[in-house]
């Protein structure tokens, strides 16, 4: 009887020990799951914070970090010889990456690498293709038999400026009309005379 009761006690001890080991394993698995979950949440939160910190809202595709560059270029748009006014509040600082500012309608400020002039015009709600300049009110000025849309970068005629990333001191002219070479030279001279606003 003593031997049987001893065996029963040992079995109880063993089953109690097994029960404790199972409980410990269960606790360890739960704790590990919680720690893994917290690590995932911290990782996601960190990623979102990084994106919001280093990629400002409205970032163009392929742009560098906001503030990694700060370049200035002079730009004019001439429609039938009349200069388009970018100094109006409607065209000032529409995006942090590239914009006009300080009520100046001639100096384009680029604040990140890889930001194109095509992106600038999209932020201004101006349609620009290689053939058409489309005002926000939908008036279109497109290349036809009589008139043409022309692009000049530093006096060189180019077929498009949409993918162009301006460099400091560039002079950019967009001209629409039927100007002769003398009239184009006069327009280019006005862009040469533009004083860059480097304050912003």
**pLDDT computed for residue 27 by the predictor:** 74
Helices (H), the chain: 2-54, 117-123, 181-193
CATH architecture of 71-193: Beta Complex (2.170)
For residue 75, what are the β-bridge partners?
172
User: Please, what is the Cα angle at 44 between 42 and 46, to 5 degrees?
Assistant: 65
SS3 of the chain: helix, strand, coil, percent, to 5: 40, 20, 40
**Residue recorded with tokens 């001639």:** 106
Q: Residue 133 pLDDT more than 80?
A: yes
At residue 131, the pLDDT reads 97
Q: Where are the domains of the chain?
A: 1-54, 71-193
**What are the tokens at 143?**
């290349």
pLDDT at 195 over 90: no
- Tell me the mean pLDDT in the region 131-148: 95
3-state class (DSSP) for residue 156: strand
The pTM for the full model equals 0.71
Note the pLDDT tens digit of each residue in 16-56. Answer: 667 777 777 777 777 667 887 777 777 776 655 555 444 45
User: Reduced to 3 states, what is the DSSP secondary structure of residue 147?
Assistant: coil
């Amino acid at each position: 009887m003593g031997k049987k009761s001893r065996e029963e006690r040992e079995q109880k001890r063993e089953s109690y020990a097994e029960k404790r080991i199972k409980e410990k394993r269960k606790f360890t698995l739960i704790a590990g799951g919680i720690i893994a979950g917290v690590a995932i949440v911290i990782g996601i939160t960190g990623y979102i914070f990084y994106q919001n910190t280093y990629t400002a809202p409205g970032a163009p595709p392929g742009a560098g970090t906001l503030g990694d560059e700060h370049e200035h270029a002079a730009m004019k748009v001439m429609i039938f010889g009349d200069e388009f006014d970018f100094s109006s509040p409607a065209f000032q600082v529409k995006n942090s990456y590239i914009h006009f500012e300080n009520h100046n309608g001639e100096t384009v400020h680029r604040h990140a690498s890889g930001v194109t002039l095509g992106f600038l015009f999209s932020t201004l709600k101006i349609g620009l293709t290689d053939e058409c300049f489309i005002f926000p009110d939908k008036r279109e000025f497109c290349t036809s038999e009589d008139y043409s849309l022309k692009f000049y970068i530093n006096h060189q005629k180019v077929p498009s400026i949409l993918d162009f990333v301006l460099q400091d001191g560039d002079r950019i002219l967009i001209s629409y009309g039927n100007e002769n070479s003398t009239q184009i030279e006069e327009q280019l001279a006005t862009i040469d005379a533009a004083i860059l606003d480097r304050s912003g």
